Structure 1
Amino acid sequence: MSVSMLSTFVKPMHPEGRRFVAIAAAITAVLFFLWAPLGWIGLGLTIWVYYFFRDPVRVVPTRPGIMVSPADGIVSLLEPAIPPAELGLGEDPLLRISVFMSVFNCHVNRLPAEGRIEKVVYTPGKFLNASLDKASADNERNGLAVVLPDGRRYGVVQIAGLVARRILCWSEAGQELGRGDRFGLIRFGSRLDIYLPEGVTPLVRIGQTMVAGETVIADLASATKED
């Protein structure tokens, strides 16, 4: 098998997944000892766990003024919504783009646009289906308010889903991150909400497939052009 073909199937794995793969592999070994057919099922699950925690290299667009998707998945919601109060983005509705991640998507989250992390706020909650609109308010979540270089602000919120039970965020308030930089991960099915700055026009549609760090979701210059 050539190097290019190998890289298509074998992806780097995020360190967060190592212990889960090790646990799955240990269980698989026991299953093989008990009964070979169960062992093969365990092997399939072990491969899936590795695949879930994959962290492939992404080619982040360099065009100035754009925002990229923070997650792999599909656009499930695209509508004005009031941002979570804890982010301090105001009480007026902002355009919200929701990206739903199934258990088969890569779950490493990336920052949509370069800026300074103004605040990181964790909020406990329920574990409803992440594709539901009310999941934004009711589910466990972790929100980031980000200040762009021009002073405008936007929000990105990690939302736990029906299966997800752990939101990870390794970014802190005051940290400067670039577009497409990794900032967190959610384990086993979830959603990301992006609250665009006022007046910014989205460049995606409901049902569109997103690739974290690569798919352009908005042009920050669009508000200026309209003004």
Structure 2
Amino acid sequence: MKLHKEGTKILVITTILTILLSAGFYFGLASISIWLFAILELALIIFVVLIFRFFRVPKRSCPNEEGVIYAPADGKVVVIEDVEENEHLKEKRTQVSIFMSPLNVHVNYYPIAGEVSYTKYHPGKFLVAWHPKSSTENERSTVGFKTKSGVEIIMRQIAGAVARRIITYSNVGEYFSGGDQFGFIKFGSRIDIFLPTDAEILVNLEDKTVGSETPIARLK
């Protein structure tokens, strides 16, 4: 399993600090209390493993079945509802939202093949990602694209109370396949995807998703 390029700086700093802290624990505590030393070392190891695990990039293969929308991220479905998409399309859409905990893979994937038609970054608040207003008030990045059949879809990366950096690779005019990476959000977040209201939704609330592999909708 690979590590994501967005974690390079953090992982280097984490490794250096871990070595320094481990040495400090050894020279400062090992001779005083071997149990306290062992507990602190174990806590340090667990922390480092979690940081490295956060930036993992598992090998995925998107089925790319025609007309099927796959999950853009790992996580849990927290919203399925009809809403007004007021940023770009200005029309009613079915919103499906996936919440990513810090334990989930945080790579973001294109859910179907197409061409990028719109991108915009919005600064904002850092409400918890499942808060109803996080979709419109939090720091976020919106990507719009057209499928090969001409259907336009909107995706929105949303920062949360912990997530403080959104990375989006999309550029207007570029073509992509389902399963290609389009971004990364650091340390807990959410993705909203706005689908045509006549799309057949294939997931339910609380369902767990696997990015680029779980079908979440089928276009008419």
| Contact 1:81-1:93 at 8 Å conserved across structures | yes
Secondary structure at 1:24 match in 2? helix
Contact 1:145–1:155, Cα closer than 8 Å, also in 2:
yes
Structure 1: 5+ residue stretches without partners:
1-10, 222-227
**How many equivalent pairs are there?**
208
Instruction: Map residues 139-158 of structure 1 onto 2, 5 A cutoff.
Output: 139-158=138-157
- Paired residues for 1:1-227 under 5 Å: 11-35=1-25, 36-37=37-38, 38-85=40-87, 88-90=88-90, 92-221=91-220
Moved more, 186-195 or 150-159: 150-159
Preserved contact between residue 77 and residue 208 of structure 2 (Cα < 8 Å): yes
Aligned CA distance change for structure 1 residues 122 and 84 (closer, same or farther; 3 Å)? farther
Structure 2: gaps (5+ residues): 26-36
Query: What one-letter code is carried by the residue in structure 1 that aligns with 2:12?
Result: A
- Structure 2 counterpart SS, 1:82: strand
Structure with the higher strand share, 1 or 2: 2
Mapped contact 2:138–2:158 kept (Cα < 8 A) = yes
Post-superposition shift, 1:32?
1.0
Asked whether the equivalents of residues 32 and 40 of structure 1 are also in contact (C-alpha less than 8 Å), the reply is no
Contact 1:89–1:145 (Cα < 8 Å) also in 2: no
**1:163-196 CA deviation, whole Å, 9 max, x = no partner?**
0000001121111011111000000000000000
- Whose radius of gyration is greater, 1 or 2? 2
With normalisation by structure 1, the TM-score equals 0.88
Structure 1 residue 23 displacement after superposition: 1.1
* 1:32-53 Cα shifts (integer Å, max 9, x gaps): 1111443432222111111001
1:188-209, Cα deviation, whole Å (9 max, x unpaired) = 0000000002411211000000
Q: Aligned partners of 2:11, 2:89: CA distance in 1, in Å?
A: 39
Q: Provide TM-score, normalisation by structure 2.
A: 0.91
> Post-superposition shift, 1:84?
4.2
Q: Secondary structure at the match of 2:153?
A: strand
* Aligned-pair Cα RMSD in Å: 1.2
